[in-house]
Amino acid sequence: MVSTVAAAVPPYTGLEVFWFTIIAILWVVYFVLEGFDFGVGMLLPVVGRNDLDRRVLINTIGPVWDGNEVWLLVAGGATFAAFPNWYATLFSGFYLPLFLILAALIFRGVAFEFRAKRALPAWRRTWDHAIFWGSLIPALLWGVAFANILRGVPIGRQFSYYGSFFNLLNPYALVGGVTTLLLFALHGAVFLSLKTTDEIHERASRVAKILAPAAAAALVAFLAWTYVNAHNAHDTGLVPPFVPIAAIVAVCVVGWLLRERLEGWAFVATAVGLVGLVATIFLNLYPRVMVSSISPAFNLTIGNSASAPYTLKVMTIVALIFTPIVLVYQGWSYWVFRARVRRPGSISVPRHGTGGSSGLSGAGDTNPALTASGDADSPPGEGGSS
Amino acid sequence: MTLDLSRWQFGITTVFHFIFVPLTIGLALLLAIMQTAAYRTRHDEVKHQKWERMTLFWRRLFLINFAIGVVTGIVQEFQFGMNWAAYSRYVGSVFGAPLAVEALLAFFLESTFLGVWIFGRDRVSARIHLASIWLVSAGTTLSAYFILAANAWMQHPVGYKVVGDRAVMTNFWAVMTNSTLISSFLHVFTAALVTAAVLMLGVSAWHLLRSRRAGQPPHPVFSASAKLALIVGAIAIVATMFFGDNQARLMEKQQPMKMAAAEAIYNTQNGASFSLLTIGNLSGQPVFQLRLPHMLSVLADNSWNGPVQGINQIQAQEAAKYGPGNYKPILWVTYWTFRIMVGCGILMLLIMAVGLWLMYRRKLDDSKWFLGLAIPTIALPFLANAMGWIFTEMGRQPWVVYGLLKTSQAVSNIGTGYVVTTLIGFTAIYSVLAIIDFGLMARFARLDPDAADEHDHDNDSGLVSGEDRVPALVY
């Protein structure tokens, strides 16, 4: 009894469609923004050869990673409010992967703040591990999770999940996980090539050039498999083919853009790749929000998992008023921190240049950690309390 | 089994999260005040230096604490779905809305402007840098308001109707202006200020004592911090008690069982006395009890001889209304958590009063016994916060949404093994974090404010203008 989705589409309300779109956009923005900071975290041991390098890398995302992560919290909260059944089935069903993601995000989050608090090499190494694994695990598992949402998991009556942890580890989902992992890593490498200078910049570019074909291959494999699945289930009509094709083309040209030193465009390209990936998943999913592998009758759709119309209306008003404000100030904060992050110790600029304004002043000299000698009892740096 | 383990998990993760949150809220406001003072005294070198150094010192503790508050908050956003799926389906339409609005309005504000505040000293003007800490403070406070809106709805549901098998929101404004919300927000917000003030007083006291022992004059940063902490703390503790009392009155009307359970009053009484402590058991035949006559009636009803309903009467009423069942919370938990919370509050009130008096007599910096006492006092607000939270949640049992949904009906349909895994996992992770956090807080609290710590990013900012400036690394 395979019913095509088109035949099963009841008249969904505009608000339900709107909130499905909003949640898709929240995930798109989350993947694009936290994608690069996951990438930077994963590349910490690869691009960062020593402590100072690693600090440069962490500081490229320092002011923004927390704001990026809020997109996840908004996606979670919006799903709860707009589609309670989706929220409940997804997070109780994907229980252990979600736990692993949360644990990873916890360690990674505190690592950024705590790492620099002590100069002990063992302390810093520990937090480097936390940042690396804390970035890699969610990068892999978000792909696994979304591939499963689309592929279908054992959902039975009353939206209950009847699978186990191991149902989630199927080949298709693992390809999805590898795809997000490699795309995030590439996205992060390109971001680093935009935000760093000198050797670190060169190293990041080199890593990006190596990652680019691998990420493109994974993306092609995943999207092709997705297309075959959709084709077999007769629900291909809702994905305009230009979306996945644009994603693939974008990721395929990243290597060339980097060789041409068009780093800004390369970043746009990896972002387009991520947008296309998430958009393909959500477009293919619509109007379902979770697919049941037991029977299409048990699918969660925007209709049967939606909240009350009144709630959707209130949330729409709040979202329309405040999302533009958030975008403006978050965009502004990116503008404030647009400069490349440099290694203060590595640049030979005279200590007090013209008018006491050298490129280094204070930074490299009074900050003992940067000259690798420091402990907390170091002499005061009486620098600019301006 | 899944139910009990899920309750333990929710309790552990939430109480742990709530250790850090009040301090974040309180310190954010205090830092905003300090930085404002630094900004306004920018033409007076001595005063400016003092406020500036104060801001830099307390900021370190704030950031360590903030990090843990943030990461443990992520768990809160998802664990309703993980362990309480039935609850999520039932209440999503009402309860999900404030959560989503919290993330959109509060989390973006605090995280974005915290980034600007930490990293932006040499990238934005002093005015915008000052505005960003105020916005962080506004974000943390708004966050408390929205999450308490969700919680207040569980205590006292308003603005909804039950349609089929779920509660559906009918009036968002009613949810956001719930009387229980206003009262608990004011109580929690002022308690957060108390928490920050008591920590500030205690840490300052440690430094003042140390300089006394070393025969040095009191450090201006800690003299000033102690004074600021005493003034803010004294006002805030009085306000916390006032709003707490207000909450108790509401509770007597809205959740009479919780009030009766707080007091372990079995039968309705006129002019009920307030039990200070009980030795023996709570079941009506205590071995020894200390009671303040008429006090409970005064607290709950504002009258000397007003009636206070007893547990047995409320049990009978609720059984008649909702069907047979046990509607009593665990009495020893409600009784003792309430008492410990109130007791900590009274102790802090006394300590603040004595401190203010010493300050007025200009003896604060020299009073060895008071400074010595202020250090262990740091534990009191944290204990009171945890007890208050446990009381209000445990006192609502067996309900998860009062009068609508029982906790036993709210849990996810998941295997016990999964819940055991995450319960052990979260507990282990949080224990490790607690140890690291405590170590770092203690280390940075003892740091000399005149010494740069190993990575002190505050000392190398704003030096260069133009394209080739190289600011120091913050992280």
Tens of pLDDT along B461-474? Answer: 333 333 344 556 77
Query: Distances in Å between the alpha carbon of B201 and those of B162, B369, B378, B439?
Result: 49, 14, 8, 19
Contacts of A259 (CB under 8 A, 6+ apart): A209
A99 touches chain B (CB under 8 A): yes
Query: Distances in Å between the alpha carbon of B154 and those of A6, A132, B239, B254, B416?
Result: 40, 39, 24, 11, 26
Tens of pLDDT along B230-281? Answer: 999 999 999 999 999 999 889 988 999 998 888 888 888 777 777 776 766 6
Domains of chain A by start residue, with CATH: 16-343 (1.20.1630.10)
The per-residue pLDDT for B462 is 33
The per-residue pLDDT for A238 is 58
pLDDT below 70 — which residues of chain B? 277, 279-287, 289, 299-302, 452-472
Tens of pLDDT along B267-294? Answer: 887 777 777 767 666 665 666 767 777 7
Which residues in B lie closer than 8 A to residue A92 (C-beta atoms)?
81-83, 85, 412-414
Of A322, A360, A376, the CB nearest to B447: A376
From first to last of its 386 residues, chain A has per-residue pLDDT tens of: 334 444 445 678 899 999 999 999 999 999 999 999 999 999 999 999 999 999 999 999 999 999 999 999 999 999 999 999 999 999 999 999 999 999 999 999 999 999 999 989 999 999 999 999 999 999 999 999 999 999 989 998 888 888 888 889 999 999 999 999 999 999 999 999 999 998 999 999 999 999 999 999 999 999 999 988 888 876 655 578 889 999 999 999 999 999 999 999 999 999 999 999 999 999 999 889 999 989 889 999 999 999 999 999 999 999 999 999 999 999 999 999 998 998 875 544 433 333 333 333 333 333 333 333 333 333 333 333 32
Type and span of the H or E element at B14 = helix B2-40
Measure in Å the smallest separation between the Cα of B111 and chain A Cα atoms: 5
Which residues in A lie closer than 8 A to residue B66 (C-beta atoms)?
113
Start-to-end Cα distance in chain B: 44
Q: Residue A386 class from Cβ within 10 Å (0-12 exposed, 13-18 middle, 19+ buried)?
A: exposed
* Number of CB atoms found within 10 A of residue A351's CB: 12
Residues 154-193 of A with CB under 8 A from B: 159-161, 165
Helix intervals (H) in B120-219: 126-155, 172-176, 179-213
Residues 16-75 of A with CB under 8 A from B: 55-56, 58-59, 62-64, 66-67, 69-70, 72-74
B410 is written with which tokens? 């709210």
The per-residue pLDDT for B375 is 96
Of B30, B185, B53, the closest CA to residue B449 belongs to B53
Type and span of the H or E element at B161 = strand B160-163
Tens of pLDDT along B14-50? Answer: 999 999 999 999 999 999 999 999 999 999 999 999 9
B438 touches chain A (CB under 8 A): no
Which residues in A lie closer than 8 A to residue B116 (C-beta atoms)?
63, 333, 336
Residues 361-420 of B with CB under 8 A from A: 412-414, 418
The per-residue pLDDT for B304 is 72
The per-residue pLDDT for A371 is 32
Q: Enumerate the β-bridge partners of residue A300.
A: A290
Of A163, A172, A165, the closest CA to residue A232 belongs to A172
Helix (H, G, I), strand (E, B) or coil at A156: coil
Cβ atoms of A278 and A272 closer than 8 Å: no
Contacts of A104 (CB under 8 A, 6+ apart): A133, A134, A135, A136, A137, A138
Burial B152-184 (b: 16+ CB within 10 A, else e): bbbbbbbbbeeeeebbbbbebeebbebebbbbb
Q: What is the residue whose two structure tokens read 């480097």? A: A128
Cβ atoms of B108 and B138 closer than 8 Å: no
A268 touches chain B (CB under 8 A): no
How many beta-carbon contacts under 8 Å exist across A and B? 332
Type and span of the H or E element at A191 = helix A171-195
Which residues in A lie closer than 8 A to residue B118 (C-beta atoms)?
62-63
Q: Do A102 and B92 touch (CB under 8 A)?
A: no
> CA A114, A118, A119, A123: dihedral to nearest 10 degrees?
-70
Domain boundaries, chain B: 2-248+363-450
The per-residue pLDDT for A354 is 34
Mutate to test the interface with A, among B71, B177, B401, B426 (most CBs of A within 10 A): B71
A344 touches chain B (CB under 8 A): yes
Residue of B nearest to A110 (CA): B67
Residue of B nearest to A335 (CA): B123
Q: Enumerate the β-bridge partners of residue A196.
A: A341
φ and ψ at B305, to 5 degrees? -120, 20
The per-residue pLDDT for A362 is 34
Q: Do A311 and B460 touch (CB under 8 A)?
A: no
A306 touches chain B (CB under 8 A): no
Cβ atoms of B222 and B52 closer than 8 Å: no
Q: Which long-range contacts does B274-277 make (Cβ < 8 Å, 24+ apart)?
A: B274/B299, B275/B335, B275/B339, B276/B339, B277/B339
Mutate to test the interface with A, among B122, B437, B453 (most CBs of A within 10 A): B453
Q: How many CA atoms lie within 13 A of A369 on its CB side?
A: 31
The per-residue pLDDT for B286 is 60
